[in-house]
Structure 1
């Protein structure tokens, strides 16, 4: 008959991490203009809905049910915000990022005119970004910039890509001194792209999502002030409309996250002696697994819950069981 040493580790308690905050959307059937809908959503909820993924599109389609018209979401065209392609704020002294030398009646903010060309007299004009013109790039070293004229005709986006690949970026014109420097460089009667553009689509809550889900041939900018509605007769795809049109709308608010308490994890080591009258392989997997099942039954009978986990602790030689006689000889 042999006596063996059994060590069991009992773990009690679980830890949990709360999931990220979700949004709850609210369909309001009362027709309002875009500005009225925005005011309502901000007073009653958080804001007009931001739709930033196909998951949200599908959720809104399911929520709309049999409603087969369109409803305002939070996207609108803010045509008065112009910015430079070179966006690093450290490159600009106070007031320089706002420097503009627009020509008469410029910018006219015509919907397709979202980029800026510079005439030889260095007057700014807003223009269709898809037109093909020469470009002014620049190489930036610290606070200084060296202008480079690119004679190849490209769209504004192509010019931006070219400048970023071969130089620093499409040129920023930060002050009157730089404007005059360019005036001395540009051939008479020529037009060049510079880095000023407007990224006009904005979400009401300030989100910076670039996700878009337009209907075919949209947007078409048919109004002087354009806002966006989700058309539920067309799988929730978006259409641009006059912001003064009255329509139902969709608000959202964040779903509060309820913190999940973290229960401390405790560990207890239990030593048990077991007799082995039948010369069973006490370190065999089948025997070890069966012993854990029996041990858990006994612990449950003593009032421990199902969160208890059992595991064997192996000795330095990789074995779980040792004969007590062998252990005592080792200690002598």
Structure 2
């Protein structure tokens, strides 16, 4: 006799890996320091603007605030020099970046000038330059589109080779789940699909 249980599959039907989702940019006309802008963006959006490629840059420059009357003001973005690992983005989560996107730069001629007192980055005249973080500038925040997650329950029956195996042992359950994941991925299941066991009303996972 086999063991019966249910497997939960979390399917992100509208999901593209985060790096494939375009950033949404939000211009904030508050004149504050880079650190204050970072705090504001993290509270209200995700972070100060990250720009991962020239397409992002072009979309950002088409924002109304830049296109109206050819505005050429100076705004903070999320790039800064931490004095340890050199230039990096305020948004540190690697899940938000595709290949090479964290390294994209759009410096103006002569920038960065590597002056220690100017470790924060602005856009000015459509190009990037480093400035003193204590200066007060308007700024751009970013978000990414929400991800829609759906859930599907699949009934499975397992027949262990060892009939004495305790199927309700958490270690055994995790080992079986990992084996199922590996086999499904070999058959083409995306890494974006998450699996876990469904607990039965009595608190157990498997029943004979």
Q: TM-score, normalised by structure 1?
A: 0.35
CA contact (8 A) 2:118 2:130 kept: no
Q: What are the Cα deviations for residues 18-42 of structure 1, in whole angstroms up to 9, with x where unaligned?
A: 2524321101011110000001001
User: Which consecutive unaligned segments of at least 5 residues does structure 2 have?
Assistant: 1-11, 95-101, 153-208
User: Which consecutive unaligned segments of at least 5 residues does structure 1 have?
Assistant: 1-15, 82-198, 263-332
Question: Displacement, 1:261?
Answer: 9.8
Structure 1 residues 197-236: aligned runs within 5 Å = 199-206=85-92, 209-231=102-124, 233=125, 236=126
Question: Displacement, 1:54?
Answer: 0.5
Question: Displacement, 1:69?
Answer: 1.3
Distance in 1 between the 2:149 and 2:67 partners?
33
Aligned to 1:73: 77
Question: Displacement, 1:221?
Answer: 2.8
Aligned to 2:197: none
Structure 1 residues 249-328: aligned runs within 5 Å = 249-258=139-148
Tell me which of 117, 128, 139 is aligned to 1:238.
Answer: 128
Aligned to 2:14: 18
Number of aligned pairs? 126
Secondary structure at 2:38 match in 1: helix
Distance in 1 between the 2:26 and 2:90 partners?
16
Q: TM-score, normalised by structure 2?
A: 0.55
Secondary structure at 1:65 match in 2: helix
**Rg larger in structure:** 1
Greater strand proportion: 1
- CA 1:214–1:244 in 2, change beyond 3 Å: closer, same or farther? same
Secondary structure at 1:72 match in 2: strand
CA contact (8 A) 1:50 1:207 kept: no
Distance in 1 between the 2:58 and 2:93 partners?
20
**Over aligned residues, Cα RMSD in angstroms?**
2.3
Secondary structure at 2:39 match in 1: helix
Secondary structure at 2:60 match in 1: helix
